[in-house]
Structure 1
Amino acid sequence: MTNLNYKILLIEEDPVITREVKKLLHLDNYQVYTTAYSGEGIKMCRHYKPDLIICNTNLRDESGYHFLIALRNDLKLKHIPFIFINGKDSKDDIRMGMNLGADDYLTAPFKSKELLLSIKSRLDRFDIFNTRSTHENKHTTIISVPVIPQEINNKLSKTEFKIITMIAEGMSTKEIAGSLNISLKTVENHRHNISKKLNLSGHNSLVRYAIKNIKQEFKILG
């Protein structure tokens, strides 16, 4: 499928950002629809059936978080790939977005290439689901497989590998500890060691790295 066949809904309150992102997407041959309102965004989803949504966390009528909740609660819309864009890069904001069901979270200022790569990754992933209708095998199974950068495979232990994957999925330290049946302190030690091995510094650097670099792809087993 070419980019000309993809429809993207951009929900953004800032007209300058809307204009710039829309121009970028048009240059890459995407069809783009825009709005600054959550309520109108849901209506446009039902009418245009976009292949992907880009949404700011701040909208004219309510937050982008409220929009995402409404989207994921709608059986006909919940499958649509979703990318948050936001000027905030706090750990809590990123975690909230991912826990609510966002597929990616880009903090401003981000490069045009970052956004385009994120879009392509999400569209490629969900294209796999669209192929299911062409398969006659009723026993087809789809599994999620994390795509890990080579530097992670080379530097991290098995436990550290599991932990950074969980971080990428938006899990908190407490949730990771419970899932692996280890203490909070042990998780914190692992997070520190992971950051050190990957040469990361700053309070939120590991979360941002995990979300941006560890992608989930889907494979069909038939």
Structure 2
Amino acid sequence: MKGTNAQLQKELLLVDDDPNLILLVKDYLEFRGYKVITAENGREALEVLETQVPDLIVCDIMMPEMDGYALVKHIRENPRTSWIPVLFLSAKGQSQDRVKGLNMGADVYMVKPFEPEELVAQVESSLKQASRLIQHKTQQGQQASHLKVPQNIELTPTELKVVQLVARGMANREIAEIMDVSQRTIESHVSNMLGKTGLHNRTELSRWAIESSKV
């Protein structure tokens, strides 16, 4: 069996009303190391999504009961599934068909018949992109959730006034004008507060001021 450990952990949902295509694509993707679950139409796919959240969905457009467009609409409207990459498979290859498919919420639009290797390449590319986005959001969340500041920081009345204005998004020059002092004086106050708190920049200082109810 081909495929990397990363692929072995990936679960794909394949949705198509053509049993021959389902069999062909399922076998090929499983041979490449993916776990594949199947559905025959959009409504059946939604039932699957109630209990399982695949890493990617490969979906036909023209299907009975619920077509691919309606399925993707449901997927994108549900926060639990909205992030899942969707790859459309369609016999319609006109430019307007591709544009409609992408505008409806698909990430990739492939025209039947297609080369199996191209399908695998598109699947792998979509999974990598989704992984990068998830990792980026996770890193942002981690950065946003940890401000390590010592307890009981004491600010002078002037520093308190300065940090309140910083938290309102004002530049040092604007704060200097309001407080009728030099910009260098404001910069000195900001520098002192960064030293007291151990924070790295004005953005973190502003967030700390808001979160610690100093504003």
Q: Give TM class, smaller chain.
A: 0.5 to 0.7
RCO higher in structure (CA 8 A, sep ≥6): 1
Partner of 1:129: 133
SS in 2 for 1:116: helix
Out of 72, 80, 84, which is 2:84 matched to? Answer: 80
Structure with the bigger percentage of strand: 1
The runs of 5 or more residues in structure 1 that have no matched partner are: 140-222
Which residue of 1 is the match for residue 200 of structure 2?
Answer: none
Deviation string 1:11-67 (CA, Å, 9 cap, x unpaired) is 000000000000000100100000112112112123111000000001221211111
Distance 1:109 1:70 in 2: 27
- 2:104 aligned partner: 100
Q: Which of 36, 58, 71 is the equivalent residue of 1:67?
A: 71
The residue type paired with residue 87 of structure 1 is A
Q: Is the 8 A contact 1:87 1:108 kept in 2?
A: yes
Which residue of 1 is the match for residue 161 of structure 2? none
Cross-structure match for 2:116: 112
Match of 1:9 among 10, 13, 28: 13
Alpha-carbon distance between aligned partners in 2 of 1:21 and 1:66, rounded to the nearest angstrom: 22
What is the identity, as a one-letter code, of the residue corresponding to 1:10?
Answer: L
Look up the SS of the partner of 1:47 in the other structure: coil
Matched positions, count: 139
TM-score (norm 2): 0.61
- Helix, strand or coil at the partner of 1:2: helix
Distance in structure 1 (CA, Å) of the matches to 2:69 and 2:139: 34
Aligned to 1:21: 25
The Cα offsets for residues 171-221 of structure 1, whole Å up to 9 and x where unpaired, read as xxxxxxxxxxxxxxxxxxxxxxxxxxxxxxxxxxxxxxxxxxxxxxxxxxx
* Cα contact 2:41–2:67 (8 A) shared by 1: no
CA contact (8 A) 1:7 1:52 kept: yes
State the 1:134 CA deviation. 5.5
Gaps in structure 2 of 5+ consecutive residues? 146-215
Please state if 1:138 is matched with 2:144.
Answer: yes
Root mean square deviation of aligned Cα: 1.5
For the Cα contact (< 8 Å) 1:11–1:59, is it kept in 2? Answer: no
Task: State, as a whole percentage, how many aligned pairs show the same letter.
Answer: 27
Measured in 2, the distance between the counterparts of 1:100 and 1:44 equals 21
**1:46/1:77 contact within 8 Å kept:** no
> Larger Rg: 1 or 2?
2
Distance of 1:46 and 1:120 partners within structure 2: 24
Amino acid at match of 1:133: T
